Structure 1
Amino acid sequence: MYKKKNTEVDKKAKDKAPEKGKRNIGFTVKSLIIPFILAAIVACLIYLVMTNITKNEVVKAHVVCATKDIEANTFIAEDKVDDYFEIKDVEKAILPDCIYSDIKELPDGGFYVESDLSARQMVNKDDIAEKDSVMDKYTAETQMTSIKVNDFDNSVSGTIRHGDIVNVYAKDPSTNQLVLMVENVYVEAAYDNSGNELTKSYEAENGTATAVVFSVKVAPDEVDQMNTAISYEGIQLYLAGK
């Protein structure tokens, strides 16, 4: 009986042995597969992150920007371009088509700035002109003269400043009628009653003032008319085109 029992026990043990081996093989396979799955998941996540970064990458483009504040009607000589303009990189998506992308695109031989530009402002092609019907009339023979208005209301409430283009009117004493004397006159400087030049820096420190005296450019063929206007007195200034 004893031997029989032992034999039965051994037989059962042998019968169970293959099942244990199968479990070990299954465990080993699972142990190998799980790291591969985790590695695949990590690789997918990295791919998705890199793809998203690429999609969100900001594309830059070159643009010409002003390095300082530039007033309208300023003439920029060819050898002074680098003093006023530089290249900046900005987001391409926000750029209009009419922007200069290279300083070499600016007109050769000098040009006029048609409108006020602030420092770091992008330069639009409409801001630049090779010729200017007003400014081109001033030559080497251009003269400077001063004119004064009797009342600030006669100079657009005293708001006329350097760089403005004005039409000069005066009252003809023979008719007492207001007459246009000289058109499109360039204002070189504006002053208050105390003789202070009303520059941007001055008014930033002292507040806005009223301009009543003006230094203006006079082209050679305008000198006689301007002198007549001054002799008439009662001068009034209006912004050209207004």
Structure 2
Amino acid sequence: MKKIYPDARAALDGLTFDGMTVMSGGFGLCGIAENLIVALRDSGVKDLTVISNNAGVDDFGLGLLLQTRQIKKMISSYVGENKEFERQYLSGELELEFNPQGTLAERCRAGGAGIPGFYTKTGVGTLIAEGKEHKEFDGETYIMETGLVADLSIVKAWKGDEQGNLVFRKTARNFNPMMATAGKVTIAEVEEIVPLGSLDPDCIHTPGVYVQRLIKGDHEKRVEQRTVRQRETA
């Protein structure tokens, strides 16, 4: 099965439709599928539900899809770096389903594992618990959360081979591995495509069985808030 595509636009061909659900890996701007997000914007697809830890920043990452009003709903953990997100949410233009960060990660992992729901103590007694099933285990109250599955998952890895086996680099791994398993179709963009057999099997984070399409991208790797120490002078 040929999985390598020449660019992000080609990799999305035939997969996008209005109202679809997209999982987007990354944490802040670390480990995001930069090229695939731009290609989604350029495709013109609209009314998206996007599952992502955050919504990028105003002019980068998923913030690009907010600028063009292509996102209808966000299922997220943190959205504090994006003024346009704030404006759209407060004006009622954008739906938001907040999740504690660990709950969001587990919902994605559960969806990829075929688990429809699970119980957690996180959020009990808060707004997060409203309308959700409550159950006691060993005298403690838990709430039920559902697994998440997307029409499309877009992830970013460090290296990938010709069959889509992926290796992520350090903290850029974040949400990517579990989201790669939870898409009906998963596209990975990587910094380097290596020959089959060159990756140590013990170091593969996502097996190629979860990845249907693969591209090599050029990555800006922008930093949200660059903080440096003042240089000391004698």
Aligning the two structures, in what range does the TM-score lie when normalised by the shorter sequence?
Answer: under 0.3
Higher RCO (C-alpha 8 Å, min separation 6): 2
TM-score (normalizing by structure 1) = 0.17
Higher Rg of the two aligned structures: 1
TM-score (normalizing by structure 2) = 0.18
| The structure with more helix, counted as a fraction of residues | 1
